[in-house]
């Protein structure tokens, strides 16, 4: 497409301000020098008219239309999801979904391998054994979820909190937090309730809540922050769990000790990590 001469001025005239303004508005152009004059070229006739109008206004000292704010370019939805960028978050969500299926159907009698204590059911009576050196049981109860509401609540919050930690601080940090929070909250629940079947990612979720909360408070310059609405909502939910609203709704009892233990451990981990982290530049 042939270029159109939009403007022709003396070579002594400074067109830098006009050129900068045109580029801010996304108007592509080029300026050449020939025969002692400067020529500003554009691609279309309407652009030439705009350039002449802007030049006339600048020459008269008039204010030009304000420069538009930079456009925020959003990644395609598939790239925004990008599970390969958050492998630990994605893997633990997949394992939790598998645990939900096992806890709901258990067609292959696998659930007793994932509980904190081994158990056998005789009629309506459950007999619990010991861990017997099967140390994977310290962590595997976090994958068991009982009911759609249980897994939906945990996975939405784990997706939000875990993804942020993994993107900002790395997959290794998130994996270490999950293992520590999972084992810690499970042990607290056992100390509170004794031998019983329990499960869920709630202890990890509340632990990540405490970690992000204290990290953001002590490291305000960090990108890892916890929005106040989420903090308030989860703390209210924690209080309601303790007063037994889930039983009133017919959902069943929840592992309150695991929630509280996870939150406390997350606060301690957030405090320690924030204190030993290098100051941000």
pLDDT tens per residue, range 1-48: 578 899 999 988 888 889 988 888 888 899 998 888 999 999 888 888
Catalytically active residues are 202, 259
By residue range, what is the domain housing residue 146?
77-276
104 and 32 in a common domain: no
CATH number at residue 17: 3.30.70.2080
Q: Give the pLDDT confidence score for residue 128 in this predicted structure.
A: 84
95 and 216 in a common domain: yes
Residue 190 and residue 100: Cα distance in Å, rounded?
A: 21
Q: How many domains does the chain have?
A: 2
Tell me if 259 sits within 8 A of 241, measured CB to CB. yes
Residue finishing a domain among 18, 34, 60: 60
Query: Within 13 Å of residue 122, how many CA atoms lie on the same side as its CB?
Result: 2
CATH number at residue 197: 1.20.1540.10
pLDDT tens per residue, range 37-74: 999 999 888 888 889 999 999 888 888 777 655 544 44
Decide if 44 is inside a domain. Answer: yes
48 and 86 in a common domain: no
DSSP 109: S
Tell me if 101 sits within 8 A of 151, measured CB to CB. no
Residue 166 and residue 160: Cα distance in Å, rounded?
A: 10
Decide if 70 is inside a domain. Answer: no
Give the per-residue SS3 of 22-88: HHHCCCCCEEEEECCEEEEEECCHHHHHHHHHHHHHHHHCCCCCCCCCCCCCCCCHHHHHCHHHCHH
82 and 46 in a common domain: no
């Amino acid at each position: 497409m042939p270029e159109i001469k939009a403007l022709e001025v003396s070579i002594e005239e400074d067109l830098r301000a006009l050129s900068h303004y045109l580029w801010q508005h996304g108007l592509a152009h080029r300026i050449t020098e020939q025969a002692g004059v400067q020529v500003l070229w554009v691609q279309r006739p309407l652009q030439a008219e705009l350039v002449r109008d802007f030049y006339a206004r600048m020459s008269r000292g008039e204010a030009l239309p304000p420069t538009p704010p930079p456009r925020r370019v959003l990644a395609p939805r598939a790239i925004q999801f990008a599970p390969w960028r958050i492998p630990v978050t994605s893997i633990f969500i997949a394992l939790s979904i598998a645990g939900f299926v096992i806890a709901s159907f258990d067609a292959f009698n696998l659930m007793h391998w994932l509980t904190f204590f081994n158990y056998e059911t005789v009629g309506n009576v459950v007999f619990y054994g010991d861990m017997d050196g099967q140390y994977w049981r310290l962590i595997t109860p976090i994958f068991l979820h009982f009911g759609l509401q249980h897994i939906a609540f945990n996975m939405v919050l784990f997706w939000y909190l875990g993804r942020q930690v993994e993107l900002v601080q790395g997959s290794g940090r998130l994996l270490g937090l999950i293992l520590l929070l999972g084992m810690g909250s499970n042990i607290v629940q056992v100390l509170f309730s004794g031998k019983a079947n329990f499960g869920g990612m709630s202890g990890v979720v509340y632990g990540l809540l405490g970690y992000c909360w204290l990290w953001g408070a002590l490291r305000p310059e960090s990108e890892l922050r916890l929005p106040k609405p989420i903090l308030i909502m989860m703390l209210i939910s924690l209080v309601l769990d303790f007063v037994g609203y889930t039983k009133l709704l017919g959902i069943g009892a929840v592992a309150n000790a695991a929630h509280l233990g996870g939150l406390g451990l997350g606060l301690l981990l957030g405090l320690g990590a924030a204190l030993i982290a290098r100051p941000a530049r």
